[in-house]
Structures are given as structure tokens and as C-alpha cells.
A and B are shown apart, each in its own frame.
Chain A
Amino acid sequence: MNRLSVKNNTINIISDAIVNSLGFDTDEVLSAIMNMRSGSKSLENFTLSEPTAMLSCIDKEKFNHLIENNHQLNDLKSFTFFEQLMIYVIQNASQKIGLDPADPETLFVFSSTKGNIDLLEKQNLSPDQFERLYIWKSVELITQYFKNPNQAITISNACISGTQAIIKGAEILKSTPFKHVIICGADCISPFVVSGFQSFKALSPDICKPFDLNRTGLNIGEGAGAVVLAKNQEDHISIFSGSVTNDANHISGPSRTGEGLYRALMQSCEDIPKDKISFINAHGTATPYNDEMEAIAFDRFNLAEVPVNSFKANFGHTLGAAGIIETILSARSLENEIILPSMGFDDLGVSIPLTIPKTLIKDSKPYCIKTASGFGGCNAALVLKKGEIV
């Protein structure tokens, strides 16, 4: 069920857009990662749990300036920050290729874990405001803004939401008459989310260190990403296959044997020659358990020799946006024939001897894998492929 493209029917990423702590478009973010920059900063008293929190925030002043001065955007004042982010990246990704999001042959797929959750901080919400707590309401407003006539799809499956939304989008294009699917994911930083992760003792006070011996936890980030998928655009990166599974083990801790991720890799990477895989972009949250679990899963599927990187030190864990932003960066890596450095890594801290690049590497292998795991025991693996030169 997981091979999404067959001989004459590829599903390709034809446009993308990112907003996160590193910048407001994909090129800016990509360049920052190539130069090992991080958008994470230590903020004081963000919650009452800890005196500081290492967070990867979007420059809101700059973002407001961008949306106010973008003549292709209507007045977005009635939208929340979360909704504005989604509108901005959808607009950006569509406009780059001259796609009108109102096109009836275009479908939206959305991904978010918490939507407008910061509204809960307010006392005495009006019924209209309360309704904005429903992610489907935000999605409805955004779809209406773009005048798209189709019922959008919204996935909320913890941290795999973004990766799963891309797999879903590809499945839809493969099996329906839709011509384009626009996939958009976003999540924002809030005391609600940060305090929750602090109660799990899961956050690092410093910039996180995926797969490193001295890793102590994750950094929360915020962001939005959008990709546009189309059929048979062979000069673009294709969504080759994808799979979603469940550990069936624990609702917050990952399986110690990497069961769910191993199954997802097995299903999505069955026939792919391992020596043709350029890199794996891991979930790599830098918690003691996640990174070890991923290493074990990679090893179980004999992928231990494939270079592994994580972007979580560059712009934090962006939750519902993570799968989308990180897939975009993985696709761009394949296109540019590079493996991006895994910031934060110094010494191996997992039981499998993985290769974690500390600098930019040139590599022209055609496949890469994006993995993701989340609360609830869900796991996803997505395979991207660069077309062969004819």
C-alpha cells in the first residue's frame, strides 16, 4: 500500500514555502542551515516552570511587516498568528508557480497539533473566539480566504502530522482527479505547550544536541510550511513512498526496540537499494529516548551506514509543521546534491555507530528518507527520490 508512485505516475513536489525562526522563505532557511545557524534563543520567564526556556521563535515584528506590505495578501488582521502563518506560506508556495489556490482541482491538506491553543489563556472567550479553538474552524476560514471550493483535510496526529499530511496528499493525487494538492502545516509556541513539555522534563536549556552523548532534551520551535504536489513533473523531486505505523507500546515513550519506526521503514523502503540512499533526516528531537529508538530502528533495517541528520538544533521542534518543513529541506538537499550538517552533534551518544555529518557533504545519491515519531506511539517514514537524468 505504500508505494505511491508507479512507472508512469509520479507525484512531485513542485513548490514549497517555509516560515520559522531562521527566516521567511525556504532559500533563507536552507542557507542558514548550510551555515550551521540556529534560530533558538533563551527566553526568561516564558513559563513559571523554569527561569529560562530555549525557544525557536519567529520574528513577529518582521512577519507583521511582511504581511502588511504584501500586496497579494488581503488584510489579515482578523486572523490569528497561527492562521496568518498558514495563509502566508500557502500564498508564497502557490504564487511561485502561478497556481491559483481557488482552483477547484486543487485540494488542501492541513496539519497542526494545537492550532489556536493560546486562546485558552484568555478569560471570558466569546462564542466566536471559542470556536477558533477548533482547528477545523481555522481551516474553514483559510479555505474560504483562498476561495477554494473543496472540503479540506486536517490531520492532527501529534508530531508525525506534517509527514503524514504529505503522504496523504500524495495518496490523494494518485487516486483521484485532483491536479494539485497544497499541504500546509503550522504550530506556534505558547506557554501551554512549553509548560507541558517542561512537566515532562523533556526540554534542554541549551541548543539541543540530536544523537549526541550529552543531549538533554528538545527545544520547542514554531513555524509553518507548505508544499504543492502535482503529478508527473519528473524534473522535480518525487514522493516515492510513505508509511505510517504504531508502536502499540506506550502513549508517550517510544518503543525501546523501535518497533513502529522499523515497520514504517520496512514498508516504505522495501525495494530501495540501500547504497542509493543519500541520507536519513531523522525526527532527532535530542531526547535520550527518541534518538536511541531511531538509531535502533535504522539499524534493524540495515540503514546504520546511511548518514543521519536532524534540523532540531537549527529551528527547534515545530510539531505540526516539522514534517513539512523538514521534508522540504530534505527535498532541497536531494536537488542540490548535498547532505546538510546536523547541528549540535559532537560525540556519538546512541548505541549504534551512526554517521552524523558535522559539515556539509556533497552527495548525489537519488533517495532520502524522512522519519517522524510522536506521542501516541505513531511513526512515519517518507521516501523522496530525485529523478534520473535522461
Chain B
Amino acid sequence: MENLILELKEQIIEVLNLEGMTPEDIDENAPLFGDGLGLDSIDALELIVLMEKNYGIKLDDPNKGKVIFTSIKTMAEYIQENRK
């Protein structure tokens, strides 16, 4: 799980162009949207692409995405349960 969380942080930094951030800067329990990382709707869509590209998980319902993308931790948990 630790490895997955680190991996996710690195991927998110790259895919979302979070300049100057390192995995140490991201708290896996902190909310991804709203305050904190300040991600927006386009970032949410890119996270959906990331899930499919890197973990083979297809998310068709954007509303489901809201729950899964609450934090890096919730993302990691979902991936562990559903990865192909």
C-alpha cells in the first residue's frame, strides 16, 4: 500500500503538472480538491484517464469519481480493490 501511495503521488505530480512538488509535500489524507492541491474539473478528468492508463480501471460515472478522488488514500484503496 505504501508503494502504491508513493507511486500515485509521483504520477499525479507528473500528469497534473504540479510544478515544484515532491511526494513529501503531499499528505495522502488531505482533500485533493477544494483547498490543498487546488485541483479543478480538468484535473479530475485526467485522474480518470490515469486510473485507466496505469491501473486498467474504467470509471464511467464522474459522480463516482468524486468519492474515489477524495484523497490519495481513497484512490489507493480503490485501486487495490479494483486493479486489473
A–B: direct contact at CB < 8 Å? yes
- Verify B45–A201 contact, CB threshold 8 A: yes
Contacts of B41 in A (CB 8 A): 250, 252-253
Indicate whether B49 reaches chain A with its CB closer than 8 angstroms. Answer: yes
Q: Please, how many angstroms separate the alpha-carbon atoms of A251 and B40 in the complex?
A: 11
Q: Please, how many angstroms separate the alpha-carbon atoms of A44 and B53 in the complex?
A: 23
A-side interface residues, number (CB < 8 Å): 7
Cβ distance B56 to chain A, nearest Cβ, rounded Å: 15
- Verify B62–A252 contact, CB threshold 8 A: no
Indicate whether B42 reaches chain A with its CB closer than 8 angstroms. Answer: yes
Indicate whether A144 reaches chain B with its CB closer than 8 angstroms. Answer: no
Contact pattern, B 54-72, Cβ under 8 Å of A = 1, otherwise 0: 0000000010000000000
Indicate whether A199 reaches chain B with its CB closer than 8 angstroms. Answer: yes
**Dominant secondary structure at the A interface:** loop
- Chain A residue at minimum C-beta to C-beta distance from B44: A201
- Chain B residue at minimum C-beta to C-beta distance from A251: B42
Q: Please, how many angstroms separate the alpha-carbon atoms of A199 and B41 in the complex?
A: 12
- Verify B40–A250 contact, CB threshold 8 A: yes
Contact pattern, B 31-55, Cβ under 8 Å of A = 1, otherwise 0: 0000000001110010011000000
Q: Which of these, A199, A250, A253, contacts B49 with CB under 8 Å? A: A199
Cβ distance A364 to chain B, nearest Cβ, rounded Å: 43
- Chain B residue at minimum C-beta to C-beta distance from A199: B45
Q: Please, how many angstroms separate the alpha-carbon atoms of A107 and B78 in the complex?
A: 59
- Verify A201–B42 contact, CB threshold 8 A: no
Q: Please, how many angstroms separate the alpha-carbon atoms of A116 and B63 in the complex?
A: 35
Q: Please, how many angstroms separate the alpha-carbon atoms of A377 and B49 in the complex?
A: 24
Q: Please, how many angstroms separate the alpha-carbon atoms of A157 and B41 in the complex?
A: 22
Contacts of A200 in B (CB 8 A): 45
